[in-house]
């Protein structure tokens, strides 16, 4: 396996290219080595969300928030996942927290 920083960069490039299977595989390998690797968990959450596996996405984002309670992207992405899942109260709570952390983020303001 590549060094973790290179593996994350490779996974992100694969994600951007729409090769979610490769990106997910790389991130899962990273998380097996470092269970608390936030960039890998964030990308896994995004992939799960993109592929309509909302329960998995929610789990990944909540794991990040256990590690880093003030992680803006995790709150924002979790809010969208919860909104799509129909958990309006949970979504509202995480949108509010995301806005506390980044009050000028226009996509979060819109949501």
Which class for 30: exposed (0-12), middle (13-18), buried (19 or more C-beta within 10 A)?
buried
Q: Which residue has the higher pLDDT, 98 or 107?
A: 98
Distance CA 27, CA 19 (A): 13
Output the pTM of the full model: 0.92
pLDDT, one tens digit per residue, over 32-87 is 999 999 999 999 999 999 999 999 999 999 999 999 999 999 999 999 999 999 99
Of 31, 23, 22, which Cα lies nearest the Cα of 4?
31
């Amino acid at each position: 396996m590549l060094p973790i920083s290179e593996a994350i960069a490779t996974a992100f490039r694969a994600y951007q290219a729409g090769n979610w299977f490769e990106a997910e595989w790389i991130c899962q390998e990273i998380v097996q080595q470092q269970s608390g690797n936030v960039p890998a968990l964030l990308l896994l959450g995004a992939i799960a969300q993109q592929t309509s596996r909302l329960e998995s996405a929610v789990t990944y984002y909540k794991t990040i928030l256990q590690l880093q309670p003030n992680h803006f992207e995790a709150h924002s992405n979790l809010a969208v996942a919860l909104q799509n899942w129909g958990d309006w109260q949970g979504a509202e709570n995480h949108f509010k927290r995301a806005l506390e952390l980044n009050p000028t983020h226009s996509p979060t303001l819109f949501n």
